[in-house]
């Protein structure tokens, strides 16, 4: 009997406690096997574990933080093995966690946004972001050729390609699309031996977005989006991936108190 593939979702939820009704509705509609959350905005003890057990996602890896900032979590139907957290964040923020589920490594990343000024000498947040990107490349470069089915997902807060933003020309000096960021992220991705699934599936001339600002009066009508959320796979994981299954779940950017990010998903065969 052929095993059912793993449906893997990445979602910057922008407060998991506030948006637990959104998560429950999404799980009921889409039946994911694994959800990787970024920006959970709670400590570990505050995470709504009971709700996830009731949803059928009882296996959890939570990396929360005091003060309601940052935080990442992974919820799974199947048992998980918690892996060592890669040391990517020099500030010690809760921005990374990693697990193994049924032979597939899953690394969940919430890369710093970087503030508003794209100058590392003037803006410490931007300097932190660039340092995080360099660390990402160094870390995953060490295991790029180990043959492990590895998937890196998350809100990387960088839109690397010209058609990952609503206007390449107008956003070249805006944090998330500056050349130092986009070139740095692509260098890190290649060093880690990863395929960018969205751009593997879609032509370079197709516009792809996963984030739309809360500031827009009508985000859908203006459609000034950016592709900040990513799914990357090593060669071993790419071979298991159903490329036709890649989705940006646009409808979930709308509705009741939505996150400013839409969830993205892919289906991966179990090794």
What spatial distance separates the first Cα and last Cα of the chain, rounded to whole Å? 14
Rounded to whole angstroms, how far apart are CA atoms 268 and 4? 9
Task: Tell me what the mean pLDDT of segment 133-138 comes to.
Answer: 98
Q: Is residue 145 part of a domain?
A: yes
The pLDDT value recorded for residue 98 is: 98
The pLDDT value recorded for residue 151 is: 98
The pLDDT value recorded for residue 3 is: 83
Q: Is residue 216 part of a domain?
A: yes
Strand partners, 248: 264
Model confidence over 24-65: pLDDT tens digits?
999 999 999 999 999 999 999 999 999 999 999 999 999 999
Task: Tell me what the mean pLDDT of segment 225-238 comes to.
Answer: 98
Whole-number percent of the chain with pLDDT over 90: 96
The pLDDT value recorded for residue 243 is: 96
Q: What DSSP element (H or E) covers 10?
A: strand 6-12
- The chain-wide mean pLDDT, for the chain, equals 97
Q: Is residue 1 part of a domain?
A: no
Flag whether pLDDT at 80 surpasses 70. yes
The tally of domains found in the chain comes to 1
Q: Is residue 54 part of a domain?
A: yes
Flag whether pLDDT at 182 surpasses 70. yes
Residue with tokens 């390609």: 161
What range does the domain containing 125 cover?
Answer: 6-268
pLDDT band, residue 266 (cuts 50/70/90): very high
* Inter-residue contact 24 to 45 (CB < 8 Å): no
Task: Tell me what the mean pLDDT of segment 183-192 comes to.
Answer: 98
Q: Is residue 157 part of a domain?
A: yes
Q: Write out the two tokens for 64.
A: 């929360």
CATH number at residue 249: 3.60.10.10
pLDDT band, residue 155 (cuts 50/70/90): very high
Q: Is residue 102 part of a domain?
A: yes
Comparing CA positions, the residue from 98, 130, 92 lying closest to residue 113 is: 130
What is the DSSP pairing of strand 150-155 with strand 104-110? Answer: parallel
The pLDDT value recorded for residue 254 is: 94
Q: Is residue 251 part of a domain?
A: yes
pLDDT band, residue 1 (cuts 50/70/90): low
Q: Is residue 39 part of a domain?
A: yes
The pLDDT value recorded for residue 67 is: 80
Angle at 9 between CA 234 and CA 47, to 5 degrees: 120
């Amino acid at each position: 009997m052929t095993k059912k593939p793993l449906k893997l979702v990445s979602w910057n939820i922008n407060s998991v406690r506030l948006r637990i009704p959104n998560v429950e509705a999404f799980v009921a509609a889409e039946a994911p096997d694994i959800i990787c959350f970024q920006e959970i905005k709670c400590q570990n003890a505050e995470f709504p574990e009971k709700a996830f057990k009731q949803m059928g996602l009882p296996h959890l890896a939570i990396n929360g933080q005091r003060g309601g900032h940052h935080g990442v979590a992974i919820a799974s139907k199947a048992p998980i093995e918690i892996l060592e957290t890669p040391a990517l964040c020099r500030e010690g923020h809760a921005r990374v966690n990693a697990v193994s589920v049924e032979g597939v490594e899953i690394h969940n990343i919430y890369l710093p946004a970087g503030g508003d000024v794209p100058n590392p000498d003037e803006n410490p947040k931007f300097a932190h972001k660039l340092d995080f990107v360099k660390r990402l490349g160094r870390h995953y470069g060490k295991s790029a050729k180990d043959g492990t089915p590895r998937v890196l997902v998350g809100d990387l807060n960088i839109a690397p390609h010209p058609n990952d933003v609503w206007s390449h020309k107008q956003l070249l000096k805006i944090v998330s699309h500056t050349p130092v960021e986009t070139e740095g992220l692509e260098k890190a991705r290649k060093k880690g031996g990863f395929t960018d699934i969205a751009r593997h599936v879609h032509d370079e001339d197709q516009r792809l977005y996963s984030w739309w600002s809360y500031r827009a009066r009508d985000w859908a009508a203006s459609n000034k989006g950016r592709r900040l959320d990513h799914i990357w796979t090593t060669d071993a994981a790419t071979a298991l991936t159903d490329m036709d299954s890649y989705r940006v779940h646009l409808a979930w950017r709308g509705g009741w108190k939505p996150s400013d990010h839409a969830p993205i998903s892919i289906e991966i065969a179990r090794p």
